[in-house]
Amino acid sequence: MIPRPRPERFRLRRTMMFMNAQKPGLIKDAYIYGCDSIMLDLEDAVAENQKDAARFSLYHALKTIDYGDTEVIVRINGLDTPHWQEDIRVCVAGGADGIRIAKCESAQDVLTVEKAVEKAEEEFGVEKGRTLLMAALESPKGILNAYEICSASERMLGVAISGGDFRKCMQTKPTPDGIDMVTARGMMLIAARAAGVQCFDTVFTNLDDQEGFEAEVLQNKAMGFDGKSLINPKQIRFVHQVFAPTEKEIIQAEKIVRAYREQSAAGVGVFTVDGKMIDIAFIPGAERTLKLARACGLWEGDLV
Amino acid sequence: MEILKPAMAGTLESSDAQVMVEPGEDGIELSLESSVMNQYGRQIKATVLETLERLGVENARVAVVDKGALDCTIKARVECAVFRSCGQSAENIPWGGAVK
């Protein structure tokens, strides 16, 4: 029995890799790839007549395998299926860190899941509020309701867009410059930031098109995403490289945090670092850079 | 639990095991094939029997074809086959109770 620590609502989630919960060969050693989170999938990856088997497999994986620092999230079946309630029971009983709500379209969907999670926490003697939630937005309605979804619950860690279903609804295809999804991505990002939760981009499914994948990851970073969903371990390294802060950014962040501590102790609110004006508004960003740098193995300080 | 009808769970993929249960009359009749029989045969048998005992299965014919599954996978496949044979695999599973 592996006791997992209490999940953190805000942590580093650059890479979230999907894994079919029904396949023991995949889930037994998913932690070795070094992604920040794995998403064990009970939904689309599992055939309709294997939903029951996937839950048994998931339960024992959660209870037996030491995933270490890798966050374990489970994607459950949609609320329009007969499966989601049992999915939630097994996630909570097994001690998953979080649940990804598929095809989420409203705050009510989040509340429906939250209620079932609470009931399961009670049933299995799990600390109330332990199980985190995230929502996958897969339809135009989901995107339009992004803000109410993001702010529906204290358990919400973030939202992700799901490209396949969304493009289907919009009658578009993936384009090299991402123009097909730029509005939806932007709306979701704004909603997530307004609600103070994280935001993740969709998977890139053509494993042979490394150039296209890299272009999309660079755009994700430029748009302000926290991370990306992945389908293959070979995609992890590039995302971690792109999301890592540069050496210059790290040095700058360290200077800012240090200077801020000294200046505020001396009663000064606004000051300059290397000729740039700095006040309290810059501190959260600088601290985030340092935390990210440490997670990427680029910085070993103890300022944050 | 009583095995009511034949049922199967699992696959023949690497790291998996396929478990077939059928109604039986005289205790547990277990047949095991494994790609790692020499190294882990006894361990796998013990895991299957323990799992059946926990589920209260007293009479059954059980056939396991193991492809190098971990213990946790063997348990999952045995449990799923048993619950399927009783038509109870879809909901209200006693997670952490008989299934643990």
Q: Among all chains, which residue has been given the structure tokens 């995609």?
A: A235
pLDDT-derived band at A31, boundaries 50, 70, 90: confident
A4 falls within a domain: no
A82 and A209 share one domain: yes
A65 and A181 share one domain: yes
Average pLDDT over residues B4-25: 96
Q: Note whether B91 contacts A: Cβ–Cβ < 8 A.
A: yes
Residue of B nearest to A84 (CA): B91
CB pairs under 8 A between A and B: 72
pLDDT at site A13 = 93
Residue A52 Cα, gap to closest chain B Cα (Å): 6
Average pLDDT over residues A69-91: 97
- Cross-strand pairs, A15: A228
Instruction: Kindly tell me if the per-residue pLDDT of A1 is higher than 80.
Output: no
pLDDT at site A153 = 97
pLDDT-derived band at A167, boundaries 50, 70, 90: very high
Residue A273 DSSP label: E
What domain range includes position A239? 15-243
pLDDT-derived band at A27, boundaries 50, 70, 90: confident
Instruction: Kindly tell me if the per-residue pLDDT of A22 is higher than 90.
Output: no
CB contacts of B70 in chain A (<8 Å) are 24, 28, 64
Task: Provide the residue type at A85 as one letter.
Answer: Q
A143 and A57 share one domain: yes
pLDDT at site A120 = 98
Q: Which of A55, A64, A85 sits opposite B72 (nearest CB)?
A: A64
Helices of type H across A28-145: 51-64, 84-94, 107-123, 140-144
A255 and A231 share one domain: no
Tokens of A249: 């950014």
Average pLDDT over residues A173-182: 93
Q: Which CATH class is domain B7-85?
A: alpha beta
Yes or no, beta carbons of A24 and B69 under 8 Å apart: yes
Instruction: Kindly tell me if the per-residue pLDDT of A77 is higher than 80.
Output: yes
A195 and A252 share one domain: no
Residue B66 Cα, gap to closest chain A Cα (Å): 12
Locate the domains of chain B by residue range: 7-85
A53 and A85 share one domain: yes
Query: Distance between CA atoms of B54 and B74, rounded to whole angstroms?
Result: 14
Average pLDDT over residues A11-19: 93
Residue of A nearest to B67 (CA): A25
A94 and A196 share one domain: yes
pLDDT at site A296 = 83
Q: Note whether A85 contacts B: Cβ–Cβ < 8 A.
A: yes
Residue of B nearest to A49 (CA): B90
Tokens of A219: 């755009």
Phi and psi torsions of A236, nearest 5°: -65, -50
Pick from A2, A26, A42, A52 the residue to mutate for testing the B interface (most B CBs within 10 Å): A52
Max Cα distance, chain A (Å): 67
pLDDT at site A76 = 97
Yes or no, beta carbons of A53 and B95 under 8 Å apart: no
Question: A226-258: b or e for each residue (b if 16 or more CB lie within 10 Å)?
Answer: bbbbbeeeebbebbbeebbbeeebbebbbebbe
Neighbours of A112 (CB within 10 A): 16
Yes or no, beta carbons of A57 and B14 under 8 Å apart: no
Rounded percentage of chain B residues whose pLDDT exceeds 70: 100
Average pLDDT over residues A174-201: 96
Q: Which of A25, A63, A86 sits opposite B91 (nearest CB)?
A: A86
Yes or no, beta carbons of A56 and B76 under 8 Å apart: yes
Give me the interface pTM, i.e. the ipTM.
Answer: 0.97
Yes or no, beta carbons of B80 and A56 under 8 Å apart: yes
pTM summary value:
0.91
Yes or no, beta carbons of B16 and A65 under 8 Å apart: no
Average pLDDT over residues A103-113: 98
A163 and A271 share one domain: no
Helix (H) or strand (E) holding A1: none
A221 and A91 share one domain: yes
Average pLDDT over residues B1-28: 95
- Give Cα separations from A207 to A195, A212, A237 (angstroms): 33, 9, 14
Mean pLDDT of chain A: 94
Yes or no, beta carbons of B89 and A52 under 8 Å apart: yes
Neighbours of A176 (CB within 10 A): 11
How many structural domains compose chain A? 2
Residue of B nearest to A126 (CA): B96
pLDDT-derived band at A5, boundaries 50, 70, 90: confident
Query: Distance between CA atoms of A135 and A137, rounded to whole angstroms?
Result: 6
A149 and A57 share one domain: yes
Those residues whose C-beta lies under 8 Å from the C-beta of residue A87, and which sit 6 or more positions away, are A42, A55, A74, A76, A77
pLDDT in tens, A231-268: 999 999 999 999 988 899 999 999 999 999 999 888 98
pLDDT at site A297 = 84
A208 and A262 share one domain: no
pLDDT in tens, B45-95: 999 999 999 999 999 999 999 999 999 999 999 999 999 999 999 999 999
Q: Are B43 and B50 in contact (CB under 8 A)?
A: no
A132 and A269 share one domain: no
Rounded percentage of chain A residues whose pLDDT exceeds 70: 99
Average pLDDT over residues A188-215: 96
Output the domain CATH number for residue A174.
Answer: 3.20.20.60
Instruction: Kindly tell me if the per-residue pLDDT of A2 is higher than 80.
Output: no
Instruction: Kindly tell me if the per-residue pLDDT of A9 is higher than 80.
Output: yes
Average pLDDT over residues A87-95: 97
